[in-house]
Structure 1
Amino acid sequence: MNTATDPIRLIGCAPDLLPHFERLNRHWIEKYFTIEPTDIAALQHADKDILSKGGKIIFAAAEDEIVGTVALKHIDAESAEMTKLAVDEKFQGYKIGWRLVKEIMRIAEELGYKKVVLYSNTILVPALNMYEKIGFREIPVEPGRYQRSNVKMEYTFGAEHPQYTVAGELKTLINEWGQLLANISDMQAAARPKAGKWSIKEILGHLVDSAINNNVRIIRAQQISLLQIPGYDQEFWVKGQAWQFMNWQNLIKLWTIFNEHLVLTIRTIPTEVLQHTVKVNENEPVTLNYLIVDYVIHMKHHLSQINELFNLKKDTI
Structure 2
Amino acid sequence: MLKRPEVNEYPPYYKEYVNHVPEGDLLQILDDQQKETMNLLIDLSEDAAEFRYALYKWTIKEVIGHITDTERIMCYRLLSIGRGEKEMLPGYHDDEYVKMAKFNRFTLQELLHHQSLVRQHTILLLGSMDNEALRQRGRANGGEVTVRAIGYIIAGHELHHRRLIVERYLNSGRFLGEGNGNA
Tell me if both proteins adopt one fold, taking TM over 0.5 as the criterion.
Answer: yes
Structure 2 counterpart of 1:298, one-letter code: H
Q: Aligned residue for 1:179?
A: 39
Where does structure 2 lack aligned partners over 5 or more consecutive residues? Answer: 5-23, 172-183
CA distance in 2, matches of 1:289, 1:256: 21
CA distance in 2, matches of 1:226, 1:298: 25
Are 1:190 and 1:200, in contact at CA under 8 Å, matched by a contact in 2?
yes
Match of 1:209 among 49, 53, 69: 69
What are the residue-to-residue correspondences of 1:271-290 with 2, within 5 Å?
271-283=131-143, 285-290=144-149
CA distance in 2, matches of 1:281, 1:178: 29
Give the secondary structure class of the aligned counterpart of 2:88.
strand
Q: Aligned residue for 2:107?
A: 247
Q: Which has the higher contact order (CA 8 A, sep 6+)?
A: 2
Are 2:77 and 2:140, in contact at CA under 8 Å, matched by a contact in 1?
no
TM-score by length of 1: 0.45
Indicate yes or no: 2:59 matched with 1:199. Answer: yes
Q: Aligned residue for 2:156?
A: 297
Match of 1:238 among 98, 108, 116: 98
Structure 1 counterpart of 2:149, one-letter code: Y
Q: Aligned residue for 2:11?
A: none
Q: Aligned residue for 1:315?
A: none
Q: Aligned residue for 1:162?
A: 3
Give the secondary structure class of the aligned counterpart of 1:196.
coil
Match of 2:79 among 219, 233, 255: 219
TM-score by length of 2: 0.76
CA distance in 2, matches of 1:251, 1:262: 16
CA distance in 2, matches of 1:225, 1:253: 30
The alignment of Structure 1 onto Structure 2 pairs a total of residues equal to: 151
What do residues 197-248 of structure 1 show as CA deviations (whole Å, max 9, x unaligned)? 1111111110111121111111111111544200111011111111122111
CA distance in 1, matches of 2:46, 2:123: 27
Structure 2 counterpart of 1:213, one-letter code: I
Where does structure 1 lack aligned partners over 5 or more consecutive residues? Answer: 1-159, 312-317
CA distance in 1, matches of 2:33, 2:139: 27
Q: Aligned residue for 1:264?
A: 124
